[in-house]
C-alpha cells in the first residue's frame, strides 16, 4: 500500500478548516456565476498585493532549500511570478475596469497582511517544510478548487464572467504545478520530517486554511453597503 501523501494527512487532520476554505460562498459564487462583481474586483486587487509577498515567500524558499534542484524550482516559480504573472494580473484587472494606478494606490487589507505575514513568519521561524506547509492551501488548494469546480453540477459555463478564473486554476498547466507541490511536500517531509513534527505542521496548515477563508470573506465584504 502506498503511504498517504503528507498533504492528504494535513487535509484530513484539518478537514473542517479545509472545507470552510474550498467550499466558501465566494467559491460557490464563482462556480455558478452569482458572485457580485464588486466582491471579485476587491479580491483581484488584494490578490495582486498578495502576489508581491507570495514572491517573497518563494525567494525565502530558495534560501531555505537543501538541494540545487529545489532551489532551481523555487527560483523558477519566483521568476514566473515577478516576470510574468504580475503583468498578466494587471492586464486581467484592466478587463474588470481596474487600472494599475488603482491597484497600486490600494492599501493592503488586514486579511491580506495577516495571511502573507503568517506565511513569511512560518518560513523565517521554521524551515522549508514549515514554509511549504503554510503555502500549501494556496499553491495546492487553488488546484483542488479548480478541479472540483469542473465537476460541480452548479457550474455555469455560458455567460459566467468567472469562467476564465476557473479555467486558469483547472488548466493542465496549473494542475501540474499543484501536483508537483504535493510531491515536493513529500520529498521535504521525508528529508526533514518525522512524526514528532506532524502536530505543529497540522497547526500551521489549519491556520493557513483559516486565513485563506478570511481572504475570501474579505472579498465578500465588498457586497456590504
Residue 132's pLDDT is: 96
Q: What is the pLDDT of residues 82-105, one digit of tens each?
A: 988 899 999 999 999 999 999 999
Q: CB of 170 within 8 A of CB of 146?
A: yes
Statement: 16-217 belongs to CATH 1.20.910.10: yes
The rounded average pLDDT for each run of 10 residues, N- to C-terminus, in the chain (225 residues) is 85 98 98 97 96 95 92 90 90 95 96 97 96 96 97 96 96 94 93 93 98 97 74
Residue 58's pLDDT is: 95
Residue 224's pLDDT is: 61
Q: CB of 22 within 8 A of CB of 138?
A: no
Report, as residue numbers or ranges, the catalytic residues: 138, 212
Residue 77's pLDDT is: 87
Full-model pTM: 0.94
Cell of 42: 476587491
* Sequence-distant (≥ 6) Cβ neighbours of residue 132 within 8 angstroms: 61, 181, 184, 185, 188
Cell of 134: 503554510
Amino acid at each position: 500500500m502506498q503511504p498517504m501523501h503528507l498533504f492528504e494527512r494535513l487535509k484530513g487532520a484539518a478537514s473542517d478548516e479545509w472545507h470552510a476554505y474550498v467550499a466558501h460562498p465566494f467559491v460557490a459564487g464563482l462556480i455558478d456565476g452569482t458572485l457580485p462583481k464588486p466582491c471579485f474586483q476587491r479580491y483581484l486587487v488584494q490578490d495582486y498585493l498578495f502576489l508581491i509577498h507570495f514572491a517573497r515567500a518563494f525567494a525565502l524558499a530558495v534560501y531555505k532549500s537543501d538541494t540545487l534542484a529545489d532551489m532551481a524550482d523555487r527560483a523558477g516559480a519566483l521568476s514566473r511570478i515577478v516576470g510574468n504573472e504580475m503583468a498578466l494580473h494587471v492586464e486581467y484587472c484592466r478587463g474588470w475596469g481596474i487600472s494599475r494606478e488603482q491597484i497600486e494606490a490600494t492599501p493592503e487589507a488586514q486579511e491580506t497582511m495577516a495571511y502573507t505575514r503568517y506565511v513569511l513568519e512560518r518560513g523565517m521561524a521554521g524551515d522549508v517544510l514549515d514554509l511549504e506547509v503554510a503555502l500549501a492551501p494556496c499553491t495546492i488548494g487553488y488546484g483542488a478548487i479548480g478541479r472540483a469546480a469542473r465537476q460541480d453540477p452548479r457550474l455555469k459555463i455560458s455567460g459566467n464572467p468567472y469562467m476564465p478564473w476557473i479555467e486558469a486554476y483547472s488548466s493542465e498547466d496549473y494542475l501540474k504545478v499543484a501536483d508537483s507541490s504535493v510531491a515536493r511536500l513529500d520529498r521535504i517531509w521525508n528529508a526533514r520530517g518525522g512524526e514528532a513534527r506532524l502536530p505543529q505542521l497540522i497547526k500551521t496548515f489549519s491556520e493557513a486554511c483559516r486565513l485563506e477563508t478570511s481572504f475570501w470573506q474579505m472579498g465578500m465584504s465588498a457586497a456590504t453597503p
